[in-house]
Amino acid sequence: MLISRRFLLRRSKMLRFLDELEKTSGKAKSLYISSGSPSPEVKDLLQKALAEQDIPAGMSELAVSSKTGAILFWGASQRCIVLPPFPVTEKYLAQGYDVEPLRSLLQYDFSLALVLIRLSSYAIGICQGENLIDSKVGTAYIHSRHKKGGSSQHRFERHREKQIEYFLQRVCGHIKERLEPHAHTLDYIVYGGAKTTILSLQKKCSFLNKFYDRTLPPLLTISEPNRVVLEMAISQAWSSSLTEWHDNEISS
């Protein structure tokens, strides 16, 4: 029985992992699954790479759920699947540990915009590769929810809604100011923060519609946005998810 372990590897660590994997000898297979591949196609590709009975539980679901595609490396020395930070554009099956397409993807210095937002704070960044070249951070005061009930609660909630609307409009203005000069050269945009606030911002800020087809999966685990969090989010945006499978060795 195989057991799995999941890691999140930064760009530099993932590249070192690929360098070591490339040196590994022995029989192996590499499978590249392009982003947006439908579930039946993913399952068919996995069955071509591995015998159906050898596909670990959860592997198909892991590959299908990825918005950026997946890369399978499977052999005697290493058995893993990588979910990269940026979309895989090709699909093919190769013999051996063929790491070059993934390495090329990770070595390319994509131009990214990061928009991090929670109620009362935001951070906007433009980066080339992992280098931050422009940024804007800020805060706003928004009342917490009123819990006493009655007419005063309704007045309080209307006031809070206006505060939120003004905050989102202000953030939208800063986003347009920072992103518009780079709109034609940006490869991707990454959102981070609270999911409901991100959705509210996207609804209120029509300027963001032009980046719809360049949007990567959101970073939902970040804390209150500020400059330090923005720099950490850049590293997170460049990180790959690595799931390894190992034999379940039961100690006596």
pLDDT digits (tens, 9 = 90+) for 5-42: 999 999 999 999 999 999 998 899 999 999 999 999 99
Taking the model in full, what pTM does it have?
Answer: 0.90
Q: What is the pLDDT of residue 217?
A: 95
Mean pLDDT of 42-63: 90
Which is higher by pLDDT, 145 or 78?
A: 78
Band of pLDDT at residue 151, cut at 50, 70 and 90: low
What is the predicted pLDDT for the residue at 118? Answer: 94
Give which of 24, 22, 68, 74 is closest to 48, Cα–Cα: 74
Dihedral over alpha carbons 37, 39, 45, 47 (to 10 degrees): 170
The pLDDT, as a whole number, for residue 1 is 74
CA dihedral of residues 22, 24, 30, 35 (deg, nearest 10)? -50
Fold of the 2-108 domain: 3.30.960
Residue 149 has pLDDT above 70, yes or no: no
Residue 2 banded pLDDT, cuts 50, 70, 90: confident
Measure Cα distances from 90 to 31, 33, 106 in Å.
Answer: 10, 7, 15
CATH class of 111-237: alpha beta
Residue 121's alpha-carbon distances to 78, 178, 197, in angstroms, are: 43, 17, 11
Domain ranges of the chain: 2-108, 111-237
Question: What is the per-residue pLDDT across 116-129, written as a single tens digit (0 to 9) for each?
Answer: 999 989 999 999 99
Q: Identity (one letter) of the amino acid at 91?
A: K
Other CB atoms closer than 10 Å to residue 53's CB: what's the count?
A: 5
Residue 251 pLDDT > 50, yes or no? no
Q: Looking at the predicted structure, is the pLDDT value of residue 252 above 50?
A: no
pLDDT of 146 reads 56
